[in-house]
Amino acid sequence: MSNITGKVYDFPILTRVFAFVKPYTSIFRITVVLTLLLAILGPIRPWLTQITLDTFIGGNDPSGLLNMTLLMVIMLLIQSLLQFFHNHQTNLLGQNVVRDMRVKLHSHILGFPIPYFDKTPIGTPVTRTISDMETIADIFSDGLIIIIGDILQLAAIITYMFYINWQLTLISLSTVPLLLIATNVFKNNIKRTFNDVRTQVAALNVFVQEHLTGMRMVQVFNREEKELESFKEINDKHREANVKSVWYYSIFFPVVEILSAISVGLIVWWGAGDVIQGIASFGMLVAFIMYINLLFRPIRELADKFNTLQMGMVSSERIFKVFDTPSGITDQGNLDATNIKGDVEFKNVWFAYNDEEWVLKNISFTAKAGETIAFVGATGSGKTTIINLINRFYEITKGEILIDGINIKEYRVDTLRQKIAVVLQDVFLFSDNIKNNVTLGNPDISDHMLQDAAEMTGAWNFIKPLPALFNHQVGERGALLSMGQRQLIAFMRAYVVQPAILILDEATSSIDSESEALITKATGVLTHNRTSIVIAHRLATIQNATKIIVLDHGEIKEVGSHQELIKKGEWYYQLYKIQFKEKSDVLL
């Protein structure tokens, strides 16, 4: 596969694009037939004009002239009708292909592992899925099929011109080499600018998406003017890329018009002498002038269409690079995790995000079904990494993770994640109603189950007064709800799936005391009789945990119950004293 600056003749990419045409073979065949018909009909009108001038006007035949005029009108109507169907079918084909490619691409992106999104700005896959995909439609509506039709029409015109007068043909084509040189220079330069335009579009998408999502942070730190300046810089680069393309167009099209005019002038100069000498007819001269216009128009448009095709190729190559990025987890077994009990065991687990910069070092622990295991430690100690590994968001470097005594790689990932529910510190809610944010579109979750989840988790206390109840809109990322209310919805989300393993990631670290009481109660409901792994910032919330594991720089320092670790007076006790002192300072 060639790189993005390669030639337009990238047949492997075209082959991959046209693989999506297979379901629409009938539409494709119709477009090919219409293209051939238009190419054949193109040269007929000048020929009819020649006959009209030489035979019926020159021969003073009004009846024949009327018949020929009617024939030309009918030909024009047929061409217009064929052109209409041709445009409709090519655009229909392009839109069908784009729809299917977009669905397949989005499905592919949904399977990407979390590390992909850690390293890739969200605006990049957004650009690939939306604006780059739209450019592919031009390959069909104004690209390859149209180019083939124009080339066929050119071949038909030149063949007929040579047939009726080879000398006039050579004279009229004398400027074509200059035109081909100009077209090639234009094509190469405009492709570079188009590639730059696509790059700047992606940069704009990334910037706008990130800054609209983070608008609260922009305003909190009074960064509006600075961010506006940054946006202006990116927007200026986008403008400069587009201005370059306009500049090339502004030069190329006048050059084509000049060369076309020179060809017409040469035909008139040479052909007039032939007409006077009786070598050529007046109708032939007029027909040649018409042929020149028919000849130069597709050549001029070919450059533009080649660049349309090239833009589609550039976008296609970007899109297929996303397709070629591995999606999903390949190293997984066939076991169904639907009936797991929830025993979790880490055996000598090592993990690093980059090379051997170890985030977890030789981690071993066991959580029996129904137990509550809590992890505590400073920021960066590896607590969140552990829960990410249980879900297989990342793959461990060394060691084993077992669930019910079986390596998690033996389970199908989809069934495994169905039995693991996660409540994160930073709850993400979609811009939708409460019901859809809890069920996430799962049709198996009934309204009765939704009501039960709200009552059991305590969320019903704030949902009941809402006019729309579960149909209440939560706003962008849940902005119309408080932090505590968002957490309770996350608890409902976990409750309705009845997981075998529950993971709570600092679920009470960012809420007020009143909300904490509700969350603590909901935690008790959720953790009852199921394996629970809790990452805690507030140590008061984990005092009843079966086992508390203290982490520091990716290593286990202590393991025991709350009372055991307090008596021990080491790592956990020091954390407890610091937190207790913070509370005392607040009270003072």
Nearest-5° Cα angle at 434, 428 to 437: 45
Q: What strands lie across the sheet with 358-367, from one edge to the other?
A: 358-367, 344-352, 398-403, 406-407
Of 433, 442, 470, whose CA–CA distance to 454 is shortest?
Answer: 470
Lowest mean pLDDT among 45-49, 273-277, 510-514: 510-514
Q: What is the CA radius of gyration of the chain?
A: 36
pLDDT score recorded for residue 510: 52
As a whole number of angstroms, the distance between CA 411 and CA 398 comes to 18
Question: Contacts from 439-447 at CB under 8 Å and sequence distance 24+?
Answer: 439/496, 440/493, 442/496, 442/497, 445/496
Query: What tokens were used for 149?
Result: 């039709």
pLDDT score recorded for residue 104: 86
As a whole number of angstroms, the distance between CA 526 and CA 490 comes to 11
Overall average pLDDT of the 297-317 stretch: 73
pLDDT-derived band of residue 1, with 50, 70 and 90 as boundaries?
A: very low
* Domains of the chain, earliest start first: 11-324 (1.20.1560.10), 344-587 (3.40.50.300)
The answer on pLDDT for 414 being more than 50 is yes
The answer on pLDDT for 500 being more than 70 is yes
Overall average pLDDT of the 78-85 stretch: 88
pLDDT score recorded for residue 280: 62
Overall average pLDDT of the 507-514 stretch: 55
As a whole number of angstroms, the distance between CA 364 and CA 243 comes to 61
The answer on pLDDT for 145 being more than 80 is no
Lowest mean pLDDT among 134-143, 463-472, 561-570: 134-143
pLDDT more than 90, % of the chain? 0
Structure confidence by residue, pLDDT tens digits, 208-262: 777 766 666 666 666 677 777 878 888 888 888 878 777 777 777 778 778 877 8
* 355: exposed, middle or buried (Cβ count in 10 Å: 0-12, 13-18, 19+): exposed
The answer on pLDDT for 588 being more than 80 is no
* 267: exposed, middle or buried (Cβ count in 10 Å: 0-12, 13-18, 19+): buried
Query: What tokens were used for 462?
Result: 């704030």
- CB of 99 closer than 8 Å to CB of 20: no
Structure confidence by residue, pLDDT tens digits, 365-393: 888 888 888 888 877 788 888 888 888 88
- CB of 263 closer than 8 Å to CB of 174: yes
Strand partners, 422: 503
What is the signed CA dihedral for 390, 392, 396, 402, rounded to 10 degrees?
50
Of 524, 533, 469, 465, whose CA–CA distance to 491 is shortest?
Answer: 524
DSSP line for 300-366: HHHHHHHHHHHHHHHHHHHHHHHHHS--S-SS---B--TT----EEEEEEEEESSTT-EEEEEEEEE
Gap between the terminal Cα atoms of the chain: 69
- CB of 294 closer than 8 Å to CB of 152: no
- CB of 536 closer than 8 Å to CB of 542: yes
530 alpha carbon, distance to own chain's centre? 39
3-state SS, residue 42: coil
pLDDT score recorded for residue 512: 55
pTM for the model: 0.70
